[in-house]
Chain A
Amino acid sequence: MSWAPATAAERDAMLDVIGVKTMDDLFASVPKHLRAKSWNLPAGISEMAVRDEMGSIAARNATGLASFIGGGAYDHYIPAAVDALTSRSEFYTAYTPYQPECSQGTLQSIYEYQSAICRLTNMQFANASLYDGGTAVFEATTMSVRLTGRSRIVLHKSLSPIYRKMLVTHTAHLQLDLVDGDDPTEAACVIVQNPSFFGTVADYTALAARCHAAGALLVVSFYPISLGMLKTPGEMGADICVAEGQCLGVPLAFGGPWLGVMATRKEHVRKMPGRIAAETADAQGRRGFVLTLQAREQHIRREKAMSNICSNEALCALRAMIYMALLGKEGLREVARHCHAKAEYLKSKLGFATIANHGPTFNEFYVRLPKSAEKVVAEMAARGFLAGIPLAPLGAGADTDLLIAVTERRTRAELDAFAQALEEVSCS
């Protein structure tokens, strides 16, 4: 079993050209006593058998249930054209565009993606993407430290508990002081999330002003689809904004690959990590694109680099760009409006439970149920619904708290059936 094209006769002929007798001679520099001590792997199986086997593994996962799960990743509709275009192998089998002349497709798509993110957020510069929403929060943190020379990081209560855990892991040895609250005094940054992890929408304009008066930066983690409606990080005065870009046409895929989005203001761009594409021209004046500001990166600056991030999520960024191009100016507004209206409709049907958010929500909210959320979701699954995320296991709420998200994919009939089932299950 192999994808190598070489035949036995060709291998022999090539060994001849090299001037050795056997394949093993090619490994002469690996001392015999250091050869693999064990190799307990099963024999290969045919392509046909692999697909059958993996089909049955995949079938052990529940699909086809109506999903009300959000928590940073959402079941939005992905237009067929997104898959059709990103399946073009000139995109997905290409390498990082370090040779710009044969990578203009990649580079122009990154430039267009960066432009879309700037237009979406009202910021001036975006990078070519980071790993995911959580690592983007980490990168925004170290970027704030570089910009301010300060080490105090203020985490607002709106921030995802998962991002918070990731930040603790990533910064374990960086001599940073992570504190809770919203006091920007002596801080490098205050990090907020809008809508909050619990779905609450707020305006952080006043906090941005307080941050700037105190010499701190405001970092906003946002939900890209919500910006079809909501006030943007740029309008609020954010210095850096980051996001999980999964909602922009990227499949859920049990957590990845997803897409870390980052954008910033003009004055901070040279301290922004990650790849950036820029427009330029060739000797004949033809427009072209290259990766720029590479001197900040680890292949040149090594241990003094701004970040150790080397790859980005170019293919996911392409998906996001194609998604935004297909929806366009009106489509993004429409999908946001549908998500919001359907969530409000569902809320109106849940009179038996307490909606626990303080303030307005976009498409996600949490309810306090009459009984354990874990019990409720198990029973709801049996009725064909993924009812939401119990908050207690994430350390983010009481045993009875359930985070519920609604996307444009949920129909009125599903919402009605869900509300009824949730009432029956919770109140029984």
Chain B
Amino acid sequence: MQLIYEKSAPGRRAITFGPLDVPDASLPNDLCRGKAAELPELAEIDVIRHFTNLSRRNFGIDSHFYPLGSCTMKYNPKMAEAVAALPGFAHLHPHLSSAEAYWPLCQGAFELVYETEKWLAEIAGMKQTCLQPIAGAHGELAGALLIAAYHRDRGESNKDTILIPDSAHGTNPASAAIAGFRVVEVPSHEDGTMRLDSVKAAMTENVAGLMMTCPNTHGLFEPVVAEIADYLHQHDALLYYDGANLNAIIGKARPGDLGFDVMHYNLHKTFATPHGMGGPGSGPVGVGERLEKYLPGPRVVKRGESFALEMPEKSIGRLSQFFGNFGMAVRAYAYMRHLGKDGLREVAEDAVLNANYIWARLKGTYTPAFDLPFMHECIFTAAPEAKKGVRALDIAKALLDYGFHAPTVYFPLTVKESIMIEPTETESRETLDAFCDAMLDIAKRIESDPDSLHDAPTTTPVGRLDEVHAARQLNCAC
């Protein structure tokens, strides 16, 4: 498809601002740009057609099933979009929070922040939460900074190491490193879970904390998570919960009850705010009592009947300009308010039901990576198929031709030829059956016509693209 710049015609306009109703003014030439930025010159219809046609070259949740392990691509309710667009939320200037004189003008926004943080805390069994982190990985960084602040405040400057399971998301070690920690990897047991012995083996007096996902990225609940928490606390180390898989246990178990000290939530995964092609997300951080006074600030507090701002006693400071991705919190709050106590619990039940249903239908044909019962996502290894010349990537690309987005492949790194399937709770049995039928059909083709899978996809706007060429020639702008 043509680039928008290739459709440009000199002098064409979409938006004009009318005559200037004050005298024109100028700046000294040496402060001004040499010539105008070469942005495309188009009529509004050109812009509308261009981006409408681009949108049709995308799979989205509203058009396609996304069985994407680890990233929880569920349906995003439309009413959440509608409330986020209310002018009182969408067009509110955040600097109203910067001066006390303005606080009476943004009490609704303060209330929304306060209530969302309260709901999140109860859901995860945390003492407090803070909406400031702008994305999941930013929440991880917040958590790691909180762990660092805690140890420093206690005079334990030797605590410079974070333990991270080998199955963890790559952002965990990256976030710990950005927070100044040394990272030591802890191997998973061959059944896919963490063992207390492995944590013990990695423990030193320098360990500040351990970052875990539970259920982990193998889709398995960690059976000894409480013992690991106790052990860490005995050694003055804290336990971090990566909230990526929170939707699997919501209403069933709470990270705070399991012994976690700090965590992040992914509002775009658990609370169904749209992924937006890779963002915006939102990654609030939650803490237990130990870390409360170090939270980022300023924070919304309730004073009598009104809301005000306060800085926590020993705050790590400011992590975002204002209240993080506030618009995402509005959507998440609407989502929680609609589902309520029972609906939120049903999320976990249906998410786990759907994943186990897929697992049950495919396990006779594909090889499950682990023997333990899966939670909200199930993992297969395409290692046997790879021996026949068809890799996980080929299966993923073939699914595109059946009208399904591909599952996550080659993650977690601990599973060879990993195919990670997470249907979420918002898919119907009919959709799950159609997906399983496609997977079973692909399995037949692996036996009868493996080469046809190497050519997939063939029904998408482009076929497999040359990624090596893209990196070498590096054409990133025109």
Contact = CB atoms under 8 A, between A and B. Distances in A.
B461 interface: yes
A394 interface: yes
B462 A169 contact: no
A390 B183 CA distance: 44
B41 to A, nearest CB: 5
Given A278-B471, A315-B280, A91 B99 contact: no
B44 A341 contact: no
Interface string B43-54: 010011011101
A289 B50 CA distance: 16
Given A91-B58, A278-B476, A312-B279, A101 B457 contact: yes
A303 B174 contact: yes
B177 interface: yes
B340 interface: yes
Contact of B108 (A57, A81, A170): A57
A281 B24 contact: no
A284 interface: yes
Contact of B99 (A203, A318, A390): A390
B68 A95 contact: yes
A256 B325 contact: yes
Given A63-B91, A120-B39, A360-B28, A134 B321 contact: yes
Interface in A32-71: 33-47, 50-51, 53-55, 57-63, 65, 67, 69, 71
Interface stretch (A177-185, A209-217, A224-232): A224-232
B241 interface: no
Contacts of B17: 77, 331, 334-335, 338, 408
Contact of B278 (A235, A311, A374): A311
Tier of interface size on chain B? 35 or more
Contacts of B42: 325-326, 328
A307 B1 CA distance: 33
A80 to B, nearest CB: 9
Interface stretch (A148-156, A160-168, A350-358): A160-168
Most chain B CB within 10 A, of A30, A115, A165, A340, is at A30
Contacts of B447: none
B308 interface: no
Given A95-B277, A101-B457, A46 B22 contact: no
A76 to B, nearest CB: 11
A278 B79 contact: no
Given A115-B5, A389-B98, A41 B340 contact: yes
A344 B470 CA distance: 47
Interface stretch (B197-205, B230-238, B326-334, B380-388): B326-334
Given A2-B347, A58-B88, A169-B316, A326 B14 contact: yes
A93 B203 CA distance: 42
B60 A93 contact: yes
Interface string B336-349: 11111111111111
B338 A94 contact: no
A245 B460 CA distance: 32
A345 B1 CA distance: 46
B62 interface: yes
Interface in B1-58: 1, 3-5, 8, 11-17, 20-25, 27-28, 30-34, 36-42, 44, 47-48, 50-52, 54-58
A26 B355 CA distance: 10
Contact of B274 (A93, A129, A293, A307): A93
B25 A340 contact: yes
Given A280-B466, A305-B174, A308-B177, A329 B99 contact: no
Contacts of B181: 173
A251 interface: yes
B470 A292 contact: yes
Contact of A43 (B39, B66, B342): B342
Interface string A191-220: 000000000011100000000000000000
Nearest to B428: A5
Given A36-B254, A310-B136, A329 B36 contact: yes
B434 interface: no
Contacts of B274: 89, 92-93, 315
Interface in B265-293: 272, 274-282
Contacts of A146: none
Contacts of B75: 3
B140 A313 contact: no
Interface in B189-220: 220
B76 interface: yes
A120 B40 CA distance: 11
Contacts of A302: 170, 173-174, 183
A123 to B, nearest CB: 9
Contacts of B296: 169
- A17, A57, A412: residue with the most chain B Cβ atoms closer than 10 Å: A57
B228 interface: no
B389 interface: no
Given A34-B257, A282-B465, A29 B178 contact: no
A94 B277 contact: yes
B367 to A, nearest CB: 18
A125 interface: yes
Given A45-B338, A408-B17, 11 more contacts: A4-B347, A11-B353, A44-B338, A50-B337, A57-B112, A95-B73, A282-B464, A283-B466, A288-B462, A293-B474, A344-B22
18 contacts: A23-B349, A59-B88, A90-B59, A95-B278, A96-B71, A101-B461, A169-B317, A170-B319, A172-B145, A172-B179, A231-B30, A311-B136, A311-B137, A311-B281, A338-B17, A341-B24, A344-B23, A360-B31
